């Protein structure tokens, strides 16, 4: 299983010097380490060794787990893997694929809300990404708007504005 943390760290239950440095630099988070430990425990029961976990974001009442591989592996048959993750973390868990297409990643994060488009705009002399969502689906948004903006900013590494149309 691919995680942002060394396998030996997960087995030992503590970070090595290299991972501690990455934690201090902000390249990984304590939540990434916790999720990696939980996934290794789940791997013993459900064999999710083909899974690829790249980042975890705490969005308040929801934890977003980003994967570079197949999303279905981290969801598991009948949602068993994601359910165990949710119980272990004490929050609802959403899985999103972070590979290539930014629109697909954003659509995974905001589902079941319809993504109308992602545009680059210029506002007050700087470029930002505008994420357009269906206004009629606003009540179904799985996370609050400030948390969503924060998650998309860290994911895209640029300023994001959300608009409902």
Whether 120 and 80 map to the same domain: the answer is: no
Regarding whether 94 and 40 lie in a shared domain, the answer is yes
| Burial (CB count <10 Å: 0-12, 13-18, 19+), residue 69 | middle
Q: What is the pLDDT of residue 75?
A: 87
**Based on the domain organization, do 62 and 142 belong to the same domain?**
no
Among 99, 123, 142, where does a domain finish? 99
Residue 151 and residue 109 in contact, taking contact as beta carbons nearer than 8 Å? yes
Residue ending a domain, among 46, 75, 99, is 99
Residue 151: give the domain boundaries: 101-165
pLDDT value of position 11: 85
Among the candidates 83, 99, 115, a domain finishes at 99
Q: Order across the sheet with 126-133: list the strands.
A: 115-123, 126-133, 160-164
Indicate which CATH number applies to the domain containing 156.
3.30.300.20
State the pLDDT at residue 89.
92
**Residue 4 corresponds to which tokens in the numbers above?**
């942002």
Whether residue 154 is found in the same domain as residue 137: yes
> pLDDT of the chain along its 165 residues, tens only?
888 888 888 888 888 899 889 989 888 889 999 999 998 888 888 888 888 888 888 887 888 888 887 788 888 888 888 999 999 999 989 888 877 778 888 888 888 899 999 999 888 888 888 999 999 988 888 888 888 888 888 888 888 889 999
pTM: 0.81
CA distance 9 to 16: 6
Tell me how many domains the chain contains.
Answer: 2
Q: Are residues 81 and 125 in the same domain?
A: no
- Backbone φ and ψ for 144, nearest 5 degrees, come out as -70, 155
Residues 73 and 130 in one domain: no
First to last CA, the chain: 40
């Amino acid at each position: 299983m691919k995680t942002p943390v060394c396998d030996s760290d997960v087995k030992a239950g503590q970070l090595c010097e290299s991972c501690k440095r990455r934690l201090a630099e902000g390249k990984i988070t304590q939540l990434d380490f916790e999720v990696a430990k939980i996934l290794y425990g789940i791997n013993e029961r459900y064999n999710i060794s083909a899974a690829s976990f790249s980042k975890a974001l705490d969005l308040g009442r929801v934890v977003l787990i980003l994967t570079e591989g197949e999303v279905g592996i981290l969801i598991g048959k009948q949602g068993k893997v994601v359910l165990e993750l949710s119980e272990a973390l004490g929050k609802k868990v959403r899985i999103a694929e972070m590979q290539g297409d930014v629109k697909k990643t954003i659509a995974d994060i905001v589902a079941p809300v319809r993504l109308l488009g992602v545009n680059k705009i210029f506002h007050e002399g700087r470029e930002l990404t505008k994420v357009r969502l269906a206004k009629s689906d606003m009540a179904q948004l799985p996370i609050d708007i400030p948390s969503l903006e924060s998650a998309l900013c860290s994911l895209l590494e640029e300023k994001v504005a959300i608009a409902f149309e």
